[in-house]
Amino acid sequence: MANAPSNSTYLPYSPQTTKAQTIPVSSLASHNIHSVRITWVDFGNSTRFRVLPVSSFQRLLASSRPGVTIAQGNFGLVLSCIVLAPGFSATGEYLYVVDLDSIRLCPYAPGHASIMGWFQDKTPAPGRALGTGVPMCPRTVLKRVVDTATSYNAAFLVGFESEFILLKSTNPIEAVNPHGHSISSALPSGAKETEVMEEIAQGLVDSGVELMMYHSEGAPGQYEVITGPLPPLEAADALVHTRETITNVAIKHGFRATFAPRINLDNCKCCPFCWMIVFLSSLFDEIRDNLLTPLERTFLAGVLEHLPAACAFTLPIRASYARMVDGIWSGGTWVAWGSDNREVPVRLCVPPTHFPTTGQQERASPTPSGNHFEIRCIDGTSSPYLALSGLLGAGLLGIQSQAPLVEKNCAEAIAQMSKAERDAVGVGRRLPLTWEEARGALEGDEAMKGLLGGVVDGFLAAGVILDDLMGAPTTEAGRVQLLVENY
């Protein structure tokens, strides 16, 4: 007789046991590190860094606030533009204080390690204690959201699925191969793209990023790398490192890896799906509707309520909205959720039912439901710190207000429903369909702006300059080339 089935999750993680596999500063010499990259991500999602010889970095650590000075106006710069966004100036400096818990090896650059940090006031500022993050620091904003959630006994783990396309040429756009989803011909032995993917995979493993799997995706030359869950701040750091690994290995082999959302309307999109596990930090929450715990319900209610505003962060440029259509498995255009439904922006991923191993007790799920949420309205042009601040901040607002979950579990594609059918499941709002609509939703969401603070105005201002730059080419081919060369 077969064993009775169990619904416990098949990938057990918990905030207490899931930690970033970074390295201690004391091990730099044993890893033969000669250079350290002090790294940050700007409002336009460009990764920037300054390289210090390890001897200079060690001298830096002797100070009480080890860091480098960076002009405050840098937050108003995007891409290679030297025009400042409104509200920023060339005066003033921040101290970018290194976070010693964030050191990772860079296998794609032997002898190099990277480290993240916190933007802080260089000298005391009115109303802020010296040594605390400034309102413009995306890592500080994300940490504040996570810390606030902890006060409500909530904790999160976040994982990412990074989709990208390997290009042989950016002018004209030419993918490395024409092959499709999970097909063996996309990773043939001896092929250059196979070598690239194997080197990316090994590089992530060697740098301490948990690689869960990789495979080819639906568009020509498209691949996906799935990395394991971490606490939100560490997950964002790991995603930055993952993207750097992918792009650098591709360049080494003469390719360009692009995370651009949709470079050809005839093919699939690229988007780094973000999946979240929501925990009650103290005692496990009971499941009251055979699907969601009360904590998950209020979190989901908050995410859906504020999702249009969060889209300004998760889909931050005009090109992001080429994938904001129904019927292409990118999450659709309606504010909705559903179990294992890829045509809604929030997919509830329900674990499979398992039989316990003979003679061995089944491992308990780290959450009472075993569920996780997959956010599908996000793409690779977004800063992971701002995107997670917006998404988790939205969920936190729902937890704080004990928001009721209005939308019901949708088992079908919303776009194929009649209005009466949509009304029956509580779905009546659309997601932003344009860049302007998303920014307007954020500007009008007072709760979101109150939670996230001054970073909202800075991000919106920088976005205007970024939009001008990305729209500068006079032809569609020129705009696509600029897109893939920058994202």
- Is there a contact between 385 and 138 (Cβ–Cβ < 8 Å)? yes
Task: Report which secondary-structure segment, H or E, holds 145.
Answer: helix 138-150
Q: What is the pLDDT of residue 81?
A: 81
How sure is the predictor about 353, in pLDDT bands with cuts at 50, 70 and 90? confident
Top CATH class of 25-137 equals: alpha beta
Measured between alpha carbons, how far is 138 from 378 in angstroms, rounded to an integer? 17
Stretch 98-122: mean pLDDT, rounded? 98
How sure is the predictor about 290, in pLDDT bands with cuts at 50, 70 and 90? low
Identity of the residue numbered 221: G
The answer to whether residue 3 scores a pLDDT higher than 60 is no
Better pLDDT: 353 or 205: 205
- All residues at 6 or more sequence positions from 360 whose CB lies less than 8 Å from its CB, including other chains: none
pLDDT in tens, 126-160: 989 999 999 999 999 999 999 999 999 999 999 99
The answer to whether residue 345 scores a pLDDT higher than 70 is yes
Count of beta carbons in the 10 Å neighbourhood of residue 418 = 8
Q: Classify the C-alpha dihedral 209-215-216-221 as positive or negative.
A: positive
Q: What is the pLDDT of residue 282?
A: 44
Q: Taking Cα atoms as reference points, which of 26, 27, 57, 16 lies closest to residue 39?
A: 57
The whole-angstrom distance between residue 252's C-alpha and the CA centroid of its chain comes to 25
pLDDT in tens, 470-487: 999 999 999 999 999 999
Give the domain ranges of the chain. Answer: 25-137
Better pLDDT: 447 or 80: 447
Stretch 378-402: mean pLDDT, rounded? 97
Distances (CA, A) of 298 to 142, 295, 396, 402, 445: 20, 5, 8, 6, 18
Q: What is the pLDDT of residue 289?
A: 64
The answer to whether residue 2 scores a pLDDT higher than 70 is no
Pairing of strands 47-53, 117-121: unpaired
Supply the DSSP symbol for 409: B
Q: What is the pLDDT of residue 287?
A: 59
Count of beta carbons in the 10 Å neighbourhood of residue 364 = 13
Q: What is the residue-averaged pLDDT of the chain? A: 90
- Is there a contact between 263 and 165 (Cβ–Cβ < 8 Å)? yes
The answer to whether residue 458 scores a pLDDT higher than 50 is yes
- Is there a contact between 177 and 33 (Cβ–Cβ < 8 Å)? no
- Is there a contact between 381 and 323 (Cβ–Cβ < 8 Å)? no
Stretch 426-432: mean pLDDT, rounded? 97
Supply the DSSP symbol for 195: H
Tokens of 308: 């249009």
pLDDT in tens, 400-413: 999 999 999 999 99
The whole-angstrom distance between residue 307's C-alpha and the CA centroid of its chain comes to 15
DSSP 336-382: -EEET-TTSSEEEEPPPPBPPPTTSPPPPPSSSS--EEEE-S--TTS
- Is there a contact between 380 and 483 (Cβ–Cβ < 8 Å)? no
Q: Classify the C-alpha dihedral 474-476-477-482 as positive or negative.
A: positive
Better pLDDT: 268 or 177: 177
Q: What is the pLDDT of residue 76?
A: 94
Stretch 218-222: mean pLDDT, rounded? 92
Q: What is the pLDDT of residue 410?
A: 95
Lowest mean per-residue pLDDT among 30-39, 168-177, 367-376: 367-376
The answer to whether residue 359 scores a pLDDT higher than 60 is no
Stretch 439-458: mean pLDDT, rounded? 98
Better pLDDT: 285 or 39: 39
Q: Angle at the Cα of 470 (from 465 to 472), degrees rounded to 5? A: 95
Lowest mean per-residue pLDDT among 79-88, 212-221, 383-392: 79-88
Q: What is the pLDDT of residue 16?
A: 80
Distances (CA, A) of 454 to 86, 140, 449, 451, 479: 14, 12, 8, 10, 31
Q: What is the pLDDT of residue 364?
A: 44
What is the chain's length?
Answer: 487
Q: What is the pLDDT of residue 452?
A: 99
Stretch 200-223: mean pLDDT, rounded? 96
The answer to whether residue 317 scores a pLDDT higher than 70 is yes
Count of beta carbons in the 10 Å neighbourhood of residue 227 = 22
Name the percent of the chain lying above pLDDT 70.
Answer: 90
Q: What is the pLDDT of residue 361?
A: 47
Q: What is the pLDDT of residue 352?
A: 80
Measured between alpha carbons, how far is 189 from 94 in angstroms, rounded to an integer? 49
Better pLDDT: 280 or 166: 166
